[in-house]
C-alpha cells in the first residue's frame, strides 16, 4: 500500500478537518496521529464542525452510553452535512475508534451519511480511504499485518508546540487479559509493544518542539516489553530510564497499569528515577475476591493491598488512583461492602467509578444475576461519596506544602498560570506566562473543589 509520503494528489488544496474524541487518553493520542497523517493531504484542524470538509468521530465502546452517543452525534453531523450540500459544499463523515471496530457494518447500515469507517489499527489508511471512497471503499476494520506506526507521519514542530507541553505517547496497545466485562481485547486487538528506537524517536521529536512531560500510554502499559536495537527485550522501567536521558524531558508518567504486571523493578524505578512521577493509576475494579474471580482479574483484594503496601514502603508519598465497577453480575451488598472496605484501607487521591454496563460479546453479558439499575445507582452514589471525601482530604492535606509545579498553560483568570503537581493535582498560581514549560516551587495555600491554589516561592528549573 502507498505510504503518506507517496501522496501526490491535491497536495496544495486546503481542507478543514474536525475531529472529536470520546473515551480514553489513547483516543486523544490517536486523534493527534490522524490529524498528522491527514496534514500532508492539505487538512488543517478546525474547532468548528460546520466548516469541516472532513468530520472524524473517534469513538469509544467501553460502556453502552458511550457507544450510543455516537449515533446521536452522527444525527447532528448529518444535518450539517445536508446544510453544506445545499450550499454546494462537500462534507465527508468518518467514524474511527472502538465503536468503528466493533460495529462498523452496523454504523454504515444505520447512518447512511457516514462515508468511512476505520478501526484503531487502520487509521494510517485514512488518506487512501478518502481517495477511494467514490469507488466504494468504506470500511477498514481488519487487523492489518503492517504496523500503523510505520506508516504515520511525524507532525510539524509548530503543530506539536501548539498542542502544549504535556503530551501522550502510545507505547503499547491491545490487551490479552480478557476481563469478563471488557470490550478492549476485541476492539484494540492483541497486546503489542512498540520498538524502543521508534518510541525514543517520537519522544525526541516531541521534546524538541517544547514538550516537557510525556505520559506513556497502553491498555496494559506496565506489561510493556519492547525490543531494543540489539533485539533484547526492554521492560517499562528500562524504557523510562532511557527516555529520562533526553535533555529537556522533565517528567514521565504512564497509564493504565494492571496489578499483575506491577513488577518490583517498576516499583523501584519510582525511587531510582526522579523523572518518574509519584503517581500510580492502578485499577482494582472491586474489593471482593468472588467478584474479582468472576471478572477474571486473576488477583485477590489482599494481593492488591499487599502490592500497595510494598510500594508505599519505599515511596510513602505515592498518590494512588483506581477504577471501580459497581453492580457487576452477582455483586451482593456484602461484595460491595468489601469494595468500600478496600477504598477505606488504601485511601486513594482520586478514583473513577462506573456502573457495570453489559457489553455484547463479552462473557459478563451472558452471566445470570445481572444487578438492577437502581441498585447500581445507589451503590455508585455511596462509592462516590467515599471517594470524593478521600480526594478532598488528600487535596486539603496538600495545603502548606511546597511542591515543584510544572506549568502547562495560562490560568483561569488573567495573570494566572496553571500547572500540575507531581501527584497530578491541578495547581493555579499568579505568575508570568514565561514560566510555562518550566518547573518552579509553589507553596500550596488553598484547596478548591477540583484544583489547588498556591504562590511561587522557589527557583525556576
Residues that bind ligand F3S (CB under 6 A): 23-24, 26-27, 60-62, 97-98, 183-184, 187-188
Task: Give the whole-angstrom CA distance, residue 200 versus residue 203.
Answer: 5
Task: With CA atoms as reference, report the closest residue to 411 among 425, 426, 428.
Answer: 428
Tell me how many residues contact ligand SF4 (CB under 6 A). 10
Q: Please give the angle made by the CA atoms of 120, 124 and 125, to the nearest 5 degrees.
A: 100
Considering the complex, what minimum distance in angstroms separates the CB of residue 355 from ligand SAH? 6
The values of phi and psi at residue 144, to 5°, are -70, 155
Task: With CA atoms as reference, report the closest residue to 339 among 393, 281, 289, 390.
Answer: 289
Among 79, 83, 132, 178, binds ligand SF4 (CB under 6 A): 178
DSSP secondary structure code for residue 310 in this structure: H
Residue 61 interacting with ligand SAH (CB under 6 A): no
Residue 339 C-beta-side C-alpha neighbours within 13 Å: 30
Task: Give the whole-angstrom CA distance, residue 20 versus residue 338.
Answer: 38
Task: Give the whole-angstrom CA distance, residue 332 versus residue 340.
Answer: 13
Among 19, 24, 182, 196, binds ligand SF4 (CB under 6 A): 182
Applying the rule CB under 6 A, the residues between 200 and 229 that interact with ligand SF4 are: 219-220
- What x/- string results for residues 414 through 453 when contact with ligand SAH is judged by CB under 6 A? ----------------------------------------
Considering the complex, what minimum distance in angstroms separates the CB of residue 194 from ligand F3S? 16
Applying the rule CB under 6 A, the residues between 309 and 348 that interact with ligand SAH are: 323, 325
Considering the complex, what minimum distance in angstroms separates the CB of residue 111 from ligand F3S? 19
The Cα diameter of the chain in Å comes to 66
Considering the complex, what minimum distance in angstroms separates the CB of residue 312 from ligand F3S? 28
Residue 212 interacting with ligand SAH (CB under 6 A): no
Using CB distances below 5 to 8 A depending on partner kind, what does residue 178 bind out of ligand SF4, ligand F3S, ligand SAH, none?
Answer: ligand SF4
Task: Give the whole-angstrom CA distance, residue 63 versus residue 69.
Answer: 10
Q: How is residue 434 written as a grid cell?
A: 514565561
The values of phi and psi at residue 359, to 5°, are -110, 125
- The residues of the shown chain that bind ligand SF4, judged by CB under 6 A, are 175, 177-179, 182, 184-185, 219-220, 258
- The residues of the shown chain that bind ligand SAH, judged by CB under 6 A, are 62-63, 181-182, 184, 219-220, 256, 258, 283, 285, 323, 325, 354, 356-357, 359
Amino acid at each position: 500500500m502507498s505510504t503518506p509520503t507517496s501522496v501526490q494528489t491535491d497536495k496544495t488544496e486546503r481542507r478543514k478537518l474536525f475531529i472529536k474524541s470520546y473515551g480514553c487518553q489513547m483516543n486523544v493520542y490517536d486523534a493527534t496521529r490522524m490529524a498528522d497523517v491527514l496534514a500532508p493531504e492539505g487538512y488543517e484542524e478546525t474547532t468548528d464542525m460546520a466548516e469541516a470538509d472532513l468530520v472524524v468521530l473517534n469513538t469509544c465502546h467501553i460502556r453502552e452510553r458511550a457507544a450510543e452517543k455516537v449515533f446521536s452525534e452522527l444525527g447532528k453531523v448529518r444535518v450539517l452535512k445536508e446544510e453544506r450540500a445545499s450550499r454546494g459544499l462537500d462534507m465527508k463523515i468518518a467514524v474511527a475508534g472502538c465503536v468503528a471496530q466493533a460495529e462498523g457494518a452496523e454504523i454504515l447500515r444505520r447512518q447512511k451519511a457516514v462515508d468511512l469507517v476505520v478501526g484503531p489499527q487502520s487509521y494510517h489508511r485514512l488518506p487512501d480511504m478518502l481517495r477511494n471512497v467514490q469507488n466504494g471503499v468504506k470500511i477498514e476494520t481488519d487487523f492489518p499485518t503492517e504496523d500503523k506506526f510505520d506508516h504515520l507521519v511525524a507532525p510539524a514542530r509548530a503543530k506539536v508546540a501548539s498542542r502544549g507541553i504535556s503530551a501522550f505517547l502510545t507505547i503499547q496497545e491491545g490487551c490479552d487479559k480478557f476481563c469478563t466485562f471488557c470490550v478492549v481485547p476485541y476492539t484494540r486487538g492483541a497486546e503489542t509493544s512498540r520498538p524502543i528506537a521508534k518510541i525514543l524517536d517520537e519522544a525526541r521529536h516531541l521534546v524538541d518542539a517544547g514538550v516537557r512531560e510525556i505520559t506513556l500510554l497502553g491498555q496494559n502499559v506496565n506489561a510493556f516489553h519492547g525490543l531494543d536495537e540489539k533485539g533484547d527485550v526492554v521492560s517499562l522501567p528500562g524504557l523510562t530510564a532511557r527516555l529520562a536521558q533526553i535533555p529537556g524531558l522533565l517528567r514521565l508518567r504512564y497509564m493504565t497499569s494492571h496489578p499483575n504486571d506491577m513488577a518490583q523493578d517498576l516499583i523501584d524505578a519510582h525511587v531510582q528515577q526522579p523523572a518518574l512521577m509519584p503517581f500510580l493509576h492502578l485499577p482494582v475494579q472491586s474489593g471482593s475476591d468472588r467478584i474479582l474471580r468472576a471478572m477474571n482479574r486473576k488477583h485477590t483484594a489482599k494481593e492488591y493491598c499487599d502490592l500497595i503496601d510494598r510500594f508505599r514502603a519505599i515511596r510513602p508519598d505515592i498518590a494512588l488512583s483506581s477504577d471501580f465497577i459497581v453492580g457487576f453480575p452477582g455483586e451482593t451488598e456484602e461484595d460491595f461492602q468489601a469494595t468500600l472496605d478496600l477504598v477505606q484501607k488504601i485511601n486513594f487521591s482520586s478514583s473513577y467509578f462506573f456502573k457495570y454496563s453489559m457489553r455484547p460479546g463479552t462473557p459478563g453479558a451472558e452471566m445470570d444475576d445481572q444487578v438492577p439499575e437502581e441498585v447500581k445507582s445507589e451503590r455508585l452514589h455511596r462509592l462516590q461519596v467515599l471517594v470524593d471525601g478521600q480526594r478532598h482530604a488528600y487535596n486539603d492535606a496538600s495545603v502548606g506544602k511546597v511542591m515543584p509545579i510544572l506549568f502547562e498553560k495560562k490560568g483561569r483568570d488573567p495573570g494566572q498560570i496553571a500547572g500540575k503537581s507531581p501527584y497530578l493535582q491541578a495547581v493555579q498560581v499568579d505568575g508570568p506566562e514565561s514560566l510555562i514549560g518550566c518547573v518552579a516551587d509553589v507553596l500550596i495555600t488553598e484547596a478548591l473543589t477540583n484544583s489547588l491554589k498556591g504562590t511561587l516561592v522557589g527557583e525556576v528549573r
